[in-house]
Amino acid sequence: MTDAPEQRAIDVVRSLAMDAPHAAKSGHQGTAMALAPLAHVLWTRVLSYDAADPAWPDRDRFILSAGHASILLYSMLHLTGHGLTLDDLRDFRQWGSATPGHPEVGHTVGVEVTTGPLGQGIANGVGMAVAERNLRARFGSDVCDHHTFVICGDGDLAEGISHEAASLAGHLGLGRLIVVYDDNHVTIDGPTELALSDDAPARFRAYGWHVVNLGEAADDLDAMEAGLREAMTAADRPSLVVLRSHIGHPSPDADTSAVHGYSLTEEGISETKLRMGLPDEPFHVPDDVLDLYRAAGRRGAKARAEWEQRLATADIDRAAWDAALAGGGVSGWERNLPLWEVGDSVATRKAGNACLQSLLDVVPGLIGGGADLTGNTGTTISGHGVQGPECPEGRQLLFGIREHAMGAICNGLALHGGMLPINGTFLVFSDYMRGAVRLAALSGARNIFVWSHDSVGVGEDGPTHQPVEHAAALRAIPELRVIRPADANETAGAWRTIVNSDGPTALLLTRQDVPVLPGTDDHVAVARGGYILADPEGPPEIVFIGTGSEVSVAMDAAATLTAAGRSVRVVSMPCMEDFAAQDDAYRASVLPVNVPTVSIEAGVTFGWDRWADRCIGIDRFGASAPGKQVMAELGITPEALIAAADDLLST
């Protein structure tokens, strides 16, 4: 049932959903209009939140996976008092506004995750549900006890990532996850039946989900509330609530593909407002409607205050709780990082796992694993349980062969708070994950992407498994830190940087053993992204810059040239992004402007010309052969560096 004040409030939301895109001459009206009643039920009857404290850790999480309907979310955030103003809605999709075309976490208060690329939000929701369950199991329901709600559409379910994420969610039995499927039968090209004939309820039942099929209830507030509350009681399974809606209702363009976008202009908006009995004026929000929603926004204040009291007296490890929420370590955590002796030979993937294991007790948010390559990538978490219904406190996540969802799930873990997620696969398979990686960077999510088998040193598996362009492609993503450590001790330094830094990190690690070099145990130097590893007694004539396993190649070449009377500096550059962030004076002290430089990396040379006069790399695909032979055949050798140095010094 819908009483008159509630219907009036819903119609105001529908009105805003038309007005803001019309003001912008751009946007998506129809989905927001159709789902205004659902949003009303969520924000006034179901969600636990306090608009006065949008970051309250125990709030329910809401994700609009169908991010094109952003005006629906912005309207509710304005009306419930999260800080958005009517002027913000008037500036929808404009430069510098708080209301961009798709929701962006960190940009707009009350937005939990950045959505838009379809399917990502579903996977983010899985991560948030894992985070809630894990924190509840470890610290108790007095401090963590909430639900995760997601709205998705046909496009979300058509994208393959939704299969990966939903399959894992069903396997994990995530009972606090509720996904509402807006089954409106409309896509941009036309009716969904043009390309989609899936039986979504049957599909999700097969995943092990609880399914609530509400049918034609998109305007029935009580039915929607009952369906959501039924889903909330399914403690052992995630729930899909299927809602047959009519896109653009009650406009003249309802149930058309046109209203999926921006089809309602002056005439259509006027007609729709007439049908709803609203004044024909833009951004009309009457006082009684605003009062209704502002009261809803204050509804959770008592629950939040009670939570704060419980937290203050909770019998928990408060230092661990605080460190988890901060995404960092307890005091002195860095002392747990391992140290290797110079001359040891260790694959950096193995060193990475040793670092991970050493930090689990002092960085309490660490959680994660690999995509069926957990041991291979060094993302094994021993002694802390395997996440699942029987071990909700478990910190080892076994993602299965689900790379794309793995990355997006870990974004959800990171953005929930309390978790510092790690996920691993081979570097060549980062291609499968790029959508999630890009959104991690755009979101500032503290997600640790561990990609091992980082070069043609992989060997016999051949070019399908040998990355060459991948490091350069990842470095092209803004706000993504890419670290390729030279050896085991630089790997430990990389972990110090990761835990102390904001945003996502790509950690590229070797399959093969590499020697532990003198000087790489200086974690402060490693954190600067590039530093002098070896220096001659006098001014250098030539500088070799290496990264990853090729730093030892540079050291070997330098030793040969030094014996021949040349003055050679070796610079290790584990992270171009961190080095670029240093001041001009530091960068010039490492790479003097008047000294020729040669870089070496077992990958494409793209991007190295910023730092080097001559670039040695692999601008082709690899080959199937033992790793050392492939490296040698493709010119990743001390001899290649020496030849380049001789050429530069003779000109």
Nearest residue to 590 (alpha-carbon basis) of 512, 646, 534? 534
Out of 467, 482, 515, a domain closes at 515
pLDDT at 3: 75
Q: Reduced to 3 DSSP states, what percent helix, strand and coil does the chain have, rounded to the nearest 5? A: 45, 15, 40
Bridge partners, residue 531, by sequence: 572
Residue at token pair 């962006």? 104
The predicted-structure confidence for 291-310, as pLDDT tens digits, reads as follows 999 999 999 999 999 999 99
Q: Measuring CA to CA, how many Å separate 331 from each of 201, 315, 337, 491?
A: 49, 20, 13, 21
Beta strands 597-600 and 190-191 are: unpaired
pLDDT averaged over every residue in the chain: 97
pLDDT at 524: 97
Answer yes or no: do 418 and 542 share one domain: no
The torsion angles phi and psi of 322, rounded to 5 degrees, stand at -65, -40
Work out the pLDDT band at 604, boundaries 50, 70, 90: very high
Q: What angle do CA 587, 592, 594 make, to 5 degrees?
A: 145
Answer yes or no: do 143 and 36 share one domain: yes
Indicate the pTM of the whole model.
0.97
Answer yes or no: do 227 and 251 share one domain: yes
pLDDT at 651: 79
Please compute the mean of the pLDDT values over residues 245-273 and round it to a whole number. 97
Answer yes or no: do 180 and 155 share one domain: yes
Domain that holds residue 198: 4-303
Query: CATH number, domain at 354?
Result: 3.40.50.970
pLDDT at 126: 98
The torsion angles phi and psi of 373, rounded to 5 degrees, stand at -135, 35
Residue 522: inside a domain, yes or no?
A: no
The torsion angles phi and psi of 264, rounded to 5 degrees, stand at -90, 110
Q: What is the CA radius of gyration of the chain?
A: 27
pLDDT at 2: 67
Answer yes or no: do 467 and 547 share one domain: no
Residue 124: inside a domain, yes or no?
A: yes
Number of domains into which the chain is organized: 3
CB burial class (10 A; 0-12, 13-18, 19+) of residue 361? middle
Out of 484, 515, 546, a domain closes at 515
Answer yes or no: do 293 and 364 share one domain: no
Residue 457: inside a domain, yes or no?
A: yes
pLDDT at 556: 98
The predicted-structure confidence for 173-205, as pLDDT tens digits, reads as follows 999 999 999 999 999 999 999 999 999 999 999
Residue 325: inside a domain, yes or no?
A: no
Answer yes or no: do 362 and 281 share one domain: no
Please compute the mean of the pLDDT values over residues 414-432 and round it to a whole number. 98
The predicted-structure confidence for 551-579, as pLDDT tens digits, reads as follows 999 999 999 999 999 999 999 999 999 99
Residue 521: inside a domain, yes or no?
A: no
Please compute the mean of the pLDDT values over residues 528-540 and round it to a whole number. 97
Answer yes or no: do 295 and 347 share one domain: no
Catalytic residues: 403
Please compute the mean of the pLDDT values over residues 325-353 and round it to a whole number. 97
Out of 303, 324, 350, a domain closes at 303
The predicted-structure confidence for 116-159, as pLDDT tens digits, reads as follows 999 999 999 999 999 999 999 999 999 999 999 999 999 999 99
Query: CATH number, domain at 630?
Result: 3.40.50.920
Residue 287: how many other CB atoms lie within 10 Å: 7
Structural contact between residues 50 and 307, judged by C-beta atoms closer than 8 angstroms: no
Structural contact between residues 497 and 524, judged by C-beta atoms closer than 8 angstroms: no
Answer yes or no: do 117 and 53 share one domain: yes
Work out the pLDDT band at 501, boundaries 50, 70, 90: very high
Contacting residues for 425 by C-beta, under 8 A, at least 6 apart:
370, 371, 373, 377, 403, 406, 432, 433, 451, 452
Consecutive H or E run containing 152? strand 148-153
Structural contact between residues 170 and 207, judged by C-beta atoms closer than 8 angstroms: yes
Residue 321: inside a domain, yes or no?
A: no
Answer yes or no: do 510 and 570 share one domain: no
Please compute the mean of the pLDDT values over residues 323-339 and round it to a whole number. 97
